Amino acid sequence: MKSFRKELWFEVPTRRAFVNITDEVDICLEESEIKEGLALVNAMHITASVFINDNESGLHADYEKWLEALAPHAPITQYKHNLTGEDNGDAHLKRQVMGREVVVAITNGRLDFGPWEQIFYGEFDGGRKKRVLVKIIGE
pLDDT given for residue 89 in this prediction? 98
SS (H, E, C) 78-92: HCHHHHHCCCCHHHH
- The CATH topology of domain 2-138 is Jelly Rolls (2.60.120)
Tens-digit pLDDT string for the chain (139 aa): 999 999 999 999 999 999 999 999 999 999 999 999 999 999 999 999 999 999 999 999 999 999 999 999 999 999 999 999 999 999 999 999 999 999 999 999 999 999 999 999 999 999 999 999 999 999 9
Comparing CA positions, the residue from 104, 139, 118, 131 lying closest to residue 46 is 131
**Inter-residue contact 133 to 44 (CB < 8 Å):** yes
pTM: 0.96
- Residue 133, C-beta contacts closer than 8 angstroms, at least 6 positions apart: 5, 6, 7, 8, 40, 41, 42, 44
Comparing CA positions, the residue from 136, 127, 128 lying closest to residue 102 is 136
pLDDT given for residue 105 in this prediction? 98
